[in-house]
């Protein structure tokens, strides 16, 4: 599978969100990462299904909802009917991880689990056969613009074979930029979330996306 950058709109200028999303789409962006925060599971608030529905109208890109919320089971259906194509949940927020994954997939969208830096990657091993994706957090969830934590990948090599056998897409989220991306290439990671490295003042979102995507494709 080709490796790809997934821009996170968390750092976008929401006063011109449509233009910012169009900019990455025009540069070949295929997946948009949506950080949903409830001010409870994480100490920050972002947006809910209403804005996902609006973004669904703005773009044909794959919409990946990263739910950093307590009791996601209460809201998952709303995110799916709003247009999310992929739903990612933190296992500790689900009353039954298996049931949550299966109910997401039963609605025809992809389901994944997220592991925080203070959790072991092995906590998701029992669910490999039910998951479409594993999202490894390389910052403590809650805010964009934090520093990349390389230690979150120490246990990945021993799981790589099993992840591949189960066809689980591996994704990393947090602190990925032009400088840090070199450290996460060639490690079996398929998707790289980038928020502040894509949406910033230095260049257009599309230009920043292309710079990162070229580094991923060239493997440097």
What is the spatial distance between Cα 6 and Cα 66, in angstroms, rounded to a whole number? 12
Cα dihedral 203, 21, 40, 169, rounded to 10, equals: -100
Cα dihedral 202, 207, 210, 214, rounded to 10, equals: -60
What is the spatial distance between Cα 184 and Cα 178, in angstroms, rounded to a whole number? 11
171 binds Zn ion (CB under 5 A): no
| Known active-site residue 35 | yes
29 binds ligand DX5 (CB under 6 A): no
137 touches 173 (CB < 8 A): yes
DSSP-assigned letter for residue 150: G
- As measured in angstroms, the least distance from the Cβ of 35 to Zn ion is 4
3-state helix, strand, coil in the chain (%, to 5): 40, 20, 40
Which residues 76-135 are close enough to bind ligand DX5 by CB under 6 A?
A: none
Structure tokens at 78: 């709303």
* Buried b or exposed e, range 91-115, using 16+ CB within 10 angstroms: bebbeebeebbebbeeeebbbbbbb
- Of the candidates 13, 60, 132, 173, the residue annotated as catalytic is 173
Contacting ligand DX5 (CB under 6 A), which of 136, 139, 168, 189? 139
35 binds ligand DX5 (CB under 6 A): yes
Binding window for ligand DX5 (CB under 6 A); candidates: 8-16, 103-111, 150-158, 212-220: 8-16
- Closer residue to ligand DX5 (CB): 8 or 100: 8
38 binds Zn ion (CB under 5 A): no
Binding window for ligand DX5 (CB under 6 A); candidates: 22-30, 46-54, 141-149, 182-190: 141-149
- As measured in angstroms, the least distance from the Cβ of 106 to ligand DX5 is 25
Residues near ligand DX5, by CB under 6 A? 8, 10-11, 33, 35, 66, 139, 141-142, 144-146, 173-176, 193-197
Catalytic machinery residues: 35, 173
Residues near Zn ion, by CB under 5 A? 35, 66, 173
């Amino acid at each position: 599978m080709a490796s790809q950058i997934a821009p996170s709109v968390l750092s976008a200028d929401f006063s011109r969100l449509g233009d910012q999303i169009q900019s990455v789409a025009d540069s070949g962006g295929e997946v948009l990462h949506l950080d949903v925060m409830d001010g409870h599971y994480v100490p920050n608030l972002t947006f809910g299904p209403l804005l996902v529905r609006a973004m669904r109208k703005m773009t044909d890109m794959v919409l990946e909802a990263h739910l950093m919320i307590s009791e996601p089971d209460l809201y998952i259906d709303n995110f799916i009917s709003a247009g999310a194509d992929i739903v990612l949940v933190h296992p500790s927020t689900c009353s039954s991880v298996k049931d949550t994954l299966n109910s997401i997939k039963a609605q025809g969208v992809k389901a994944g689990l997220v592991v925080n830096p203070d959790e072991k990657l092995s906590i998701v091993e029992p669910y490999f056969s039910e998951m479409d994706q594993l999202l490894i957090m390389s910052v403590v969830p809650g805010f964009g613009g934090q520093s990349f934590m390389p230690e979150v990948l120490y246990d990945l090599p021993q799981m790589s074979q099993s992840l591949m056998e189960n066809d689980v897409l591996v994704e990393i989220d947090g602190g990925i930029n032009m400088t840090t991306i070199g450290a996460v290439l060639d490690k079996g990671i398929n998707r790289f979330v980038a928020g502040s490295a894509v949406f910033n003042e230095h260049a257009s979102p599309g230009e920043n996306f292309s710079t990162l995507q070229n580094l991923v494709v060239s493997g440097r």
